[in-house]
Amino acid sequence: MPDTPHPTPQTAAQTATDFLQTRRSVPAKTLALPVPDAAALHPILTAAARVPDHGKLEPWRFLVLHQGAMPRLAALARTRAAALGLDAERTLKGAAQYDAGHLAVVVIAAPKPSDKVPQIEQILSAGAVCVSLVNAALAAGWGANWLSGWPSHDRAFVETGFGLAPHETVAGIIHIGTITTPTSDRPRPDVAALTTWANE
């Protein structure tokens, strides 16, 4: 059987461009089992980590949430909602992604002391990891969605639930799983209206 020809650089670049032009997130509530195991997730995380990190500063880290962790986090979200006096709707929304979640990767922004790299650039690097993680999961054939939710900004929740240090924050929670329903595209930004050209 003949070897499968490798794509030319032009073909590979066009394939990547086509993917980026058409990629779209999959609603987290529609994701189902199976989910990637550790061996399948490793290359996805490796791809996500290939972002500008300012000379190997690496101002972020990953926390992988397996399905077994989800009930604890859902219960913690409800406990925090009660402590904060939140209404039933916000309580439900805060716990929902954990009630329905099968696998999620928490991207934790962990800025490092630096005289050269402003903290905002380190935070932006963590955001770039979130985008790259979603795209890497989609490119590998999984569905993925970047969520946050009020619990991810509640210090008691993130420190108790995710083990964050005081200087760390949640950049995003990326849910990954099997796509169960077709997803249609949504209206996209008018790039021309958002772009200014400076010639001098």
The amino acid occupying position 47 is A
In the chain, the domains with their CATH numbers are 25-68+101-182 (3.40.109.10)
Q: Tell me the whole-structure pTM to 2 decimals.
A: 0.91
Q: Which two tokens stand for residue 13?
A: 């670049």
Q: Which two tokens stand for residue 32?
A: 């189902």
Q: What is the mean pLDDT of residues 78-89?
A: 98
184 annotated to a ligand binding site: no
61 annotated to a ligand binding site: no
54 annotated to a ligand binding site: yes
50 annotated to a ligand binding site: yes
186 annotated to a ligand binding site: no
155 annotated to a ligand binding site: no
> What's residue 10's pLDDT?
65
Give pLDDT tens digits for 40-62.
Answer: 999 999 999 999 987 889 999 99
Give pLDDT tens digits for 150-162.
Answer: 999 999 999 999 9
24 annotated to a ligand binding site: yes
Q: Tokens 């997730």: give the residue.
A: 41
Q: Please name which of 160, 138, 139, 158 lies closest in space to residue 149, comparing C-alpha atoms.
A: 158
CA trace torsion 62, 50, 20, 182 (10° rounding): -30
Q: Which two tokens stand for residue 99?
A: 């009630």
Judge contact between 31 and 173, C-beta under 8 A. no
Query: Across the chain, what does the average pLDDT equal?
Result: 93
Angle at 158 between CA 138 and CA 84, to 5 degrees: 120
Q: Tokens 């219960």: give the residue.
A: 75
Binned at pLDDT 50, 70 and 90, residue 5 comes out as low
Higher pLDDT pick, 107 / 181: 107
CA trace torsion 110, 85, 148, 114 (10° rounding): -20
25 annotated to a ligand binding site: yes
Q: Above 80 in pLDDT, residue 11?
A: no
> What's residue 1's pLDDT?
47
